């Protein structure tokens, strides 16, 4: 049984987070680093296991790191070429995230020899984010400065848009029942209202900062892009790229749901339980 460690003192925690003046620690005493890992069963099961984030997004990395897991970054190389018109925004973002997660999971199983340093993954997390305008147009990352300016002016002029982020979590099944893994998915929706009084000059100046060049919709809510936004309705981390609550729910479902496949099980006599 692993030893249960006491959480750090509130004084030490406050020092780490900058709420108190930093004082020199005594000889041989190390002040613990924060934030401190959240102590819940599913995350404890994953500590020391191979966890992969199938995304190169630094925002997703930062959000996921709040759970206290050690994870590696292994983006999918599969082309994102699904049909926006045929699928619609909800299904498009979900299928794209699923494609990313499955690509990375299957690649690690087939190309990497199992070893102590690179075992099979215990968890793969994929995500995708799109912006959907009031007129129903699906926006991803801007392709050029001119495209970027047009994109932001359109979002301002239409005032309201929605951000959809899909999360897909894959974990191997202990019983290896086909297909050999559990998949949990979620799609979060957040309404964003742009400030219609934002002028062209501010939009053009923001585009030149390049903060939004690698972001769906062309702006970063967590940075200078907040100057363009009047308000949001829903989760802010969903707009940033990874809704943490939904991600944790998916992790719990994929890792802990090992006893069945979601359908009614049959007992040894062939009767439904």
In angstroms, what CA-CA distances link 245 with 55, 99, 187, 225, 254?
18, 22, 11, 23, 14
The residue that leads in pLDDT, 175 or 196, is: 196
76 near 54, Cβ under 8 Å?
yes
Let me know if 128 is a catalytic residue. Answer: yes
Predicted local distance difference test score (pLDDT) of residue 206: 96
CATH architecture entry for 41-256: Alpha-Beta Complex (3.90)
Whether the CB-CB separation of 101 and 169 falls below 8 Å is answered with: yes
Determine the pLDDT at residue 265.
40
Weakest mean pLDDT among 8-22, 206-220, 228-242: 8-22
Q: Give the pLDDT score at 81.
A: 87
* 7/2 Cα distance (integer angstroms): 15
Catalytic entry in 12, 103, 120, 128: 128
pLDDT-derived band of residue 157, with 50, 70 and 90 as boundaries?
very high
What's the pLDDT score for residue 260?
54
Is the pTM value of this prediction over 0.85? Answer: no
More confident residue, 91 or 35: 91
**Cβ(216)–Cβ(35) below 8 Å:** no
Q: Give the pairing of strands 51-53 and 72-73.
A: parallel
Tell whether the model's pLDDT for residue 222 goes beyond 80. Answer: yes
Q: Give the whole-angstrom CA distance, residue 42 versus residue 254.
A: 10
* Amino acid 117: pLDDT: 58
4-8, 86-90, 188-192, 255-259: least confident range: 4-8
Torsion of CA 105, 106, 112, 114, to 10 degrees: 80
Per-residue tokens: 239:
């707009």
Backbone angles phi, psi at 144, to 5 degrees: -160, 175
- 57-71, 100-114, 159-173, 246-260, range with the lowest pLDDT: 100-114
Query: Rounded distance, CA 54 to CA 76, Å?
Result: 6
Contact criterion met (CB below 8 Å) for 247 and 169: yes
Separation CA 84–CA 140 (nearest Å): 11
């Amino acid at each position: 049984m692993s030893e249960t460690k006491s959480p750090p003192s509130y004084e030490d925690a406050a020092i780490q987070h900058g709420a108190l003046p930093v004082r020199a620690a005594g000889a041989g005493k190390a002040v613990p680093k924060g934030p401190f890992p959240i102590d819940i069963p599913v995350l404890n099961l994953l500590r020391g296991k191979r966890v992969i984030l199938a995304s190169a997004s630094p925002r997703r990395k930062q959000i996921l790191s709040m759970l206290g897991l050690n994870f590696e970054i292994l983006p999918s190389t599969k082309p994102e070429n699904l049909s926006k018109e045929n699928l619609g925004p909800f299904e498009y973002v979900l299928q794209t995230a699923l494609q990313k997660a499955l690509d990375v999971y299957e690649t690690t199983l087939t190309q990497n020899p199992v070893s102590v340093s690179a075992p099979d993954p215990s968890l793969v997390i994929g995500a995708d984010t799109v912006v959907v305008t009031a007129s129903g147009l699906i926006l991803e990352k801007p392709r050029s400065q001119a495209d970027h300016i047009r994109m932001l002016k359109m979002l301002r002029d239409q005032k309201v848009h929605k951000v959809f982020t899909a999360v897909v979590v894959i974990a191997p099944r202990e019983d290896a029942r086909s297909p050999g893994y559990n998949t949990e998915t979620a799609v979060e929706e957040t309404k964003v209202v742009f400030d219609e009084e934002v002028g062209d000059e501010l939009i053009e100046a923001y585009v030149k900062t390049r903060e939004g060049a690698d972001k769906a919709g062309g702006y970063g809510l967590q940075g200078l892009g907040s100057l363009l936004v009047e308000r949001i309705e829903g989760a802010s981390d969903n707009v940033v790229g990874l809704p943490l609550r939904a991600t944790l729910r998916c992790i719990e479902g994929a890792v802990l749901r090992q006893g069945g496949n979601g359908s009614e099980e049959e007992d040894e006599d062939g009767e439904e339980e």
